[in-house]
């Protein structure tokens, strides 16, 4: 299994450019001024919890990830990789294992950013995060629906929705959310052929209570912990509660009845698995309702409780 492309570096943090310091989600540039195919770039911190910068650029002139990053940012590159963005480097501190991690369309990149070719509609996310607990977060939910509508290297993969209760409202809601984005949910091959070898060839979305899925080989990784799943949450042995974990791997709190989870995994090189699940029917319904681009934007995974939607992993308690 590939480890994705990352370059670790040390050094003091520098101030961000004025534009990034005041940036809202729309980004520095005026995306309406661009004509033709677009690509989106977002620079975040700590598993997508903080937006540093974001916006759209025309694909023309930004055909690789590194060219796109250099358009709006001061980049320190090493051997085709990225060591610092606008002076922000991984912390030089004892016990720190930060890195700039790269996802394209919610899938961890295995190609050097200087060689990673972009295609119209791609969403690039650079995230400065700690990987002390898990080196690889192979897939995230933060580029919905582009994970399914754009795929990898300009090629999409077949998508199948499998439900505990096929006639349930959450199942129909997930299918409709994908179909509205133009994604067939019956596993049929999309036009143009599948991505190249070594990239995801298929995706499955599981919808239903965790108790129904937990005995399957790939979902079992969630119960084994974030080191194995990349999802910072674990269900209780009776599946009636969800243990929420911080990015240091410690349990912060437990969420009970009505809790839903939306998470993504890449259990093999060729498979993507999305989970729209919960501790009970109400939790599954909440997770299905969270399958929305604005709700999921930049998130690695989300939990939905009585208090609303919260991104995972949680920050460590102060």
How is residue 176 written in tokens? 């409709």
Q: Residue 92: what pLDDT?
A: 58
Is 64 inside any structural domain?
A: yes
Q: Are residues 106 and 157 in the same domain?
A: no
Q: Are residues 185 and 73 in the same domain?
A: no
Is 268 inside any structural domain?
A: yes
How is residue 149 written in tokens? 């509508």
| Residue finishing a domain among 105, 130, 155 | 130
Alpha-carbon separation of residue 120 from 105, 151, 152, 164 (angstroms): 11, 11, 11, 35
Q: Are residues 180 and 260 in the same domain?
A: yes
Q: Tens digit of pLDDT for each residue in 11-44?
A: 333 333 333 333 333 334 444 445 799 999 999 9
| Residue finishing a domain among 130, 154, 173 | 130
Q: Tens digit of pLDDT for each residue in 266-292?
A: 999 999 999 999 999 999 999 999 999
Q: Residue 96: what pLDDT?
A: 55
Q: Are residues 162 and 235 in the same domain?
A: yes
| Residue finishing a domain among 130, 164, 181 | 130
Domain total of the chain: 2
Burial 163-201 (b: 16+ CB within 10 A, else e): bbeeebebbbbbbebbeeeebbbeeeebeeebbeeebbb
Provide the terminal-to-terminal Cα distance of the chain, rounded to the nearest Å: 35
Is 9 inside any structural domain?
A: no
Burial 44-79 (b: 16+ CB within 10 A, else e): bbbbbbebbbbbbbbbeebebbbbbbbbbbebbbee
Q: Are residues 104 and 207 in the same domain?
A: no
Is 244 inside any structural domain?
A: yes
Burial 259-271 (b: 16+ CB within 10 A, else e): bbbbbbbbbeeeb
Domain ranges, residue 63: 18-130
Q: Domain holding 98: CATH number?
A: 2.170.130.30
State what percent of residues in the chain have pLDDT above 90.
Answer: 75
Q: Are residues 214 and 246 in the same domain?
A: yes
Q: Tens digit of pLDDT for each residue in 169-211?
A: 999 999 999 999 999 999 999 988 899 999 999 999 999 999 9
Is 138 inside any structural domain?
A: no
Is 84 inside any structural domain?
A: yes
Q: Are residues 124 and 151 in the same domain?
A: no
Q: Are residues 183 and 233 in the same domain?
A: yes
Is 246 inside any structural domain?
A: yes
DSSP three-state, residue 152:
strand
2: closest CA among 140, 110, 100? 110
Specify the DSSP element, H or E, that contains 20. Answer: helix 18-21
List beta partners, residue 99: 129
262: closest CA among 238, 228, 223, 232? 232
Q: Are residues 175 and 64 in the same domain?
A: no
Q: pTM of the entire structure?
A: 0.87
Q: Are residues 287 and 254 in the same domain?
A: yes
Is 160 inside any structural domain?
A: yes
CA gap 148, 156 in Å, rounded: 7
Q: Are residues 157 and 302 in the same domain?
A: yes
Q: Are residues 301 and 157 in the same domain?
A: yes
Q: Domain holding 201: CATH number?
A: 3.30.379
Q: Residue 77: what pLDDT?
A: 85
Q: Rounded to 5 degrees, what angle do the CA atoms 82, 113, 25 make?
A: 80
Q: Comparing 81 with 308, which gets the higher pLDDT? A: 308
Confidence of residue 103 (pLDDT cuts 50, 70, 90): very high
């Amino acid at each position: 299994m590939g480890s994705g492309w990352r370059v670790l570096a040390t050094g003091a943090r520098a101030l961000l450019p004025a534009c990034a310091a005041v940036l809202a989600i729309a980004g520095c540039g005026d995306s309406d001024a661009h004509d033709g195919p677009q690509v989106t770039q977002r620079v975040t911190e700590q598993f997508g919890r903080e937006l540093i910068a974001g916006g759209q650029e025309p694909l023309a002139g930004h055909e690789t990830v590194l060219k796109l990053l250099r358009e709006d940012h001061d980049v320190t590159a090493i051997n085709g990789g990225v060591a610092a963005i606008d002076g922000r480097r991984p912390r030089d501190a004892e016990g720190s294992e930060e890195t700039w991690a790269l996802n394209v369309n919610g899938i961890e990149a295995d190609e050097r950013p200087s060689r990673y070719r972009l295609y119209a509609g791609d969403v690039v996310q650079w995230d400065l995060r700690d990987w002390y607990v898990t080196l690889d977060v192979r897939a995230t939910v933060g580029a919905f629906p582009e994970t399914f509508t754009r795929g990898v290297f300009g090629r999409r993969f077949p998508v199948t929705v499998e439900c505990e209760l096929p006639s349930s409202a959450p199942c129909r809601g997930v299918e409709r959310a994908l179909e509205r984005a133009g994604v067939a949910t019956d596993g049929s091959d999309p036009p143009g052929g599948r991505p190249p070898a070594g990239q995801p060839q298929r995706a499955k979305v599981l919808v239903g209570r965790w108790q129904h899925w937990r005995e399957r080989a790939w979902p079992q990784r969630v119960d084994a912990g974030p080191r194995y799943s990349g999802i910072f949450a674990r269900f209780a042995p009776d599946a009636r509660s969800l243990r929420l974990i911080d990015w240091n791997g410690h349990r912060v709190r437990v969420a009970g009845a009505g809790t839903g989870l939306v998470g993504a995994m890449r259990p093999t090189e060729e498979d993507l698995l999305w989970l729209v699940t919960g501790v009970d029917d109400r939790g599954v319904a909440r997770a299905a309702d969270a399958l929305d681009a604005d709700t999921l934007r930049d998130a690695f995974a989300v939990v939905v409780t009585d208090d609303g939607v919260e991104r995972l992993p949680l920050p460590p308690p102060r």
